[in-house]
Copies of this chain bind each other. A is one copy, B any other.
Amino acid sequence: MLLLGAASALVDGINERVRAGGFTDLRPAHGFAFVRLAPDGATVVELAEHLGVTKQAASQMADELVRKGYVERRPHPSDARARLLTLTERGWACTRAADEAAIAVLQPWADALGPAQLSAVRTALSRLAVPGRIRPTW
């Protein structure tokens, strides 16, 4: 219960701050998409795998993010079937805002814990967590 409550508070806290920063048309789920798109972009199929949904659902979310100005669909450099989804400047701005929000939420917690206990928690969590699985949607 503590674990779920903490995870929930973290996501809500980040989301709230991102919204307060002017990105009111995004939900936490979009953040998970940004994580995959941020480094070098991704195809719809790759995004779908990352989010754990069908490619149709991922394509739908991509449509929404394009419509809202966070993502661009550009031709894939090496595969004429595929299209590369990349962040626009606004998409990058949102990603930066989310990073800052995450730090702002976690910082007081890290301060209160001290570095030794923090790393203990970190290793403890990594033992329980399975790498690939991020998205709940229960």
Contact = CB atoms under 8 A, between A and B. Distances in A.
Interface stretch (A42-50, A92-100, A120-128): A120-128
Given A6-B3, A8-B133, A133-B9, A109 B138 contact: no
A113 B127 CA distance: 10
B117 A2 contact: no
A137 B112 CA distance: 29
A121 B117 CA distance: 8
A6 B126 CA distance: 7
Contact of A8 (B109, B112, B121, B134): B134
Contacts of A126: 2, 6
B122 A5 contact: no
A128 B27 contact: no
Contact of A124 (B10, B12, B113, B128): B113
Interface in A10-43: 10-12, 27-29
A135 interface: yes
A12 B133 contact: yes
B128 A10 contact: yes
Given A4-B136, A5-B125, A136-B138, 6 more contacts: A1-B134, A5-B131, A7-B136, A113-B120, A117-B124, A137-B137
